[in-house]
Structure 1
Amino acid sequence: MEKQKISIAGDGFISSGDYESIKIMGSAKSSGDIKSGEVKVNGDARFNGELEFGRFKVNGDAYIIGNIKAGNIKINGNLDIDGSCEFDTMVVNGDCEINCDIRCNNVTIRGDMKIRKNLYAKEIKIYGDSKIEGNIECEDIKVYGGINCKGLLNAENIFINPRGRSYCREIGATNIEISKTNNISFFKIKLPWDGRGTFRGEVIEGDFIKLENTEVKDLRGKDISLISKCKIENIEYTDNLEVSSDSIVQNSTKIG
C-alpha cells in the first residue's frame, strides 16, 4: 500500500499514521503517533504524540509535545520540544528549546539552543549560543561562540574559543584548550576572528590543558599551560606547569 503525502496550505489537522511526506505551509495540528519519511514546516505546526521522521526541517514555527526520533533535523526557524529527542544529525540555525534529554551523533549550533536536561552526542560544534541545564557528554566539542553549561562537560577533546562570557561548572577531558587566538596546538583550527571572550568555571580536570582568559577555582592536570590572563585559585599537576606573567595562581601543588 502506497503511503500518503500530506500538504497543508491553510488550516489543517494530521491524524496518527504512517506517511511518505508531510508539508505544512499554513497552520496544522496533530494528535497521536506519526511516522513520516520527510516533514517540512514552513508555517506553524503543533504536534502532540510520539514522532518518528526520516528528515525534519523547520523553517517556520513548530511545537512538539511528546518524544521524537529523526534521522536529520534542520531548524531555520523556531522549535520547542517537550519530550526526549534522538537524532542522527542536528543543525540549529534558528532557535531551539528542548525540555528533556537529547541524544545525537552530530550537533551543529549556529543559532540559539537551550536544553533543560542533558546533551549526549558524538561531535558538537557551537558557533552561536548554547545553554545546557544538565550535563554534556561527547567525544569532541569545539566552541567558537558561547556556551553555558550548569553541569559537567565531559569529552575526549575540548576546544573553546569563547565569544562573550562562557561558563561550565565542571570540565573533564583528555585534551582541553580554551583560547582566544588562532594559535591552536591541539586542534589545528583556523578561525575567522580572534576571540575576545572570557571563560569561567569551578573545576577543570584533564591530561593536557592550555588556557587563556580563564578563571577557575580548581585546576587539575598532567601538563598545564596558562598562556595569558588566567586567574586560578588552586592547581594540582603531575608533570609540568607553565604560568604566564599576567596570570594569577593562588596555590599550586605538584603531585607524585
Structure 2
Amino acid sequence: MEQKQQSRHDLNISGMGRTGGGVYKDVKIDGMGKVGGDIDCLTFTSNGTVGIEGSLHADSLNINGTAKVEGPTTLDKMDIGGMSTFKDQVQCRAVFINGRAIFDKGLKSDTVEVGGILKTKEDVQCESFSVKGHFTIEGLLNAGQVDIKMNLPCSAQEIGGEYIVVRKWKSPRIWEQLHHGFSTRLKAHIIEGDHIDLEYTEADTVRGNDVSIGPGCTIRLVEYKNTIHQDPEAKVGSCVRI
C-alpha cells in the first residue's frame, strides 16, 4: 500500500488538456480538461470545466466550476460549489452541495448536506439528510434523520426515516424577490417515519408513530400510532389511529 502511494504523481491541467485516465495523487483542473478513461486519485479539484468519460475514485472531490462524470463514482468526501452531473451510481461518505448537483442513478452516502440544489432521477439513501435549499428526488429518500428547510419547492416520490422535520426556510429578502411566485412547499406521495413534524407539505399519505401536521399542510390521509397534532390551518382529509 505504501509503495502504491509513493508511485502516484500529480496531474495539473491549466488551459486545455486531455488525459487517458490513470492513477494519480492530486488532480487539479484550472481550465478545460477531458479524462478519456477511469481515474483513481487522492484528491480531485476542478475550478474550470472537466469531463470524465470513465469512473472516478477519490478520497476528496471539490468542484468549483462544472463537471460531468460518465462512470460510477466512489468517494470519501464530495464538495460541490459549482455544477456537476453524475451519469452513473455515486457512493460517498459525506456530500456537501452548495452549488447544483444532478445524480442520474441516485446517491448513497452517510451524510448529505444541501445548501444549493440537488436533483436525482432515482433514490437517495443516507443516515443524515439536511437541506437549506432545494431538491427534486424522483425516487425514494431514505434516511435516519431528515431535516428540510425549503427556500424553493421541493419534491420526492417517497420519504422514509426515523425523524422527519420539514420547515420553510426564512431566506434572505433578495432570494424571495428573485423567486417571487414560487410556492415554497414539499410534495411527496408517501411520508413514513417514527417521528414526523411537517409544515408546508402536500402529501397523499403520512404514516408514523408521533405525527405533527403544521400550517401550510394538505394531507389526504394521516395514519398515526401514538400521538397526533394538527394545526387549525392544516387541511387533512382523514386521520386514522393504527
| TM-score, normalized by the shorter chain, greater than 0.5 | yes
- Aligned with residue 27 of structure 1, among 16, 33, 45: 16
* d(CA) in 2 for partners of 1:105, 1:98: 16
Q: Which residue of 1 aligns with 2:234?
A: 247
Cα displacement (A) at 1:192: 7.9
- Aligned with residue 168 of structure 1, among 156, 167, 175: 156
SS in 2 for 1:246: coil
* d(CA) in 2 for partners of 1:104, 1:29: 26
Q: TM-score normalised to the size of structure 1? A: 0.86
Tell me if structure 1 keeps the 8 A contact 2:120–2:136.
yes
Q: Which residue of 1 aligns with 2:202?
A: 215
SS in 2 for 1:54: strand
Cα displacement (A) at 1:180: 2.0
Cα RMSD, aligned residues only: 2.0
| Matching of residues 184-223 of structure 1 within 5 Å | 197-223=184-210
- Aligned with residue 225 of structure 2, among 238, 241, 248: 238
The amino acid that maps onto 2:56 is: I
Pair 159,192 (structure 1): closer, same or farther in 2 beyond 3 Å: farther
For structure 1, list consecutive stretches of 5 or more residues without a partner in the other structure.
Answer: 4-17, 183-190
Q: Which residue of 2 aligns with 1:187?
A: none
- Aligned with residue 107 of structure 1, among 95, 101, 113: 95
Larger radius of gyration: 1
Cα displacement (A) at 1:197: 2.5
Tell me if structure 1 keeps the 8 A contact 2:150–2:169.
no
* d(CA) in 2 for partners of 1:100, 1:176: 28
* d(CA) in 2 for partners of 1:232, 1:240: 17
Q: Which residue of 2 aligns with 1:229?
A: 216
Runs of 4+ in 1 over 6 A off after TM superposition: 191-196
* d(CA) in 2 for partners of 1:171, 1:27: 43
* d(CA) in 2 for partners of 1:236, 1:43: 54
For structure 2, list consecutive stretches of 5 or more residues without a partner in the other structure.
Answer: 177-182
Q: TM-score normalised to the size of structure 2? A: 0.91
SS in 2 for 1:39: strand
* d(CA) in 2 for partners of 1:149, 1:227: 23
Tell me if structure 2 keeps the 8 A contact 1:161–1:197.
no
Q: Which residue of 2 aligns with 1:87?
A: 75
The amino acid that maps onto 1:132 is: T
Cα displacement (A) at 1:131: 0.5
- Give the share of equivalent positions with the same residue, in percent: 27
Cα displacement (A) at 1:252: 1.1
Tell me if structure 2 keeps the 8 A contact 1:171–1:204.
yes
Aligned length: 231
Q: Which residue of 2 aligns with 1:125?
A: 113
* d(CA) in 2 for partners of 1:30, 1:40: 12
Pair 80,251 (structure 1): closer, same or farther in 2 beyond 3 Å: same
Higher helix proportion: 2
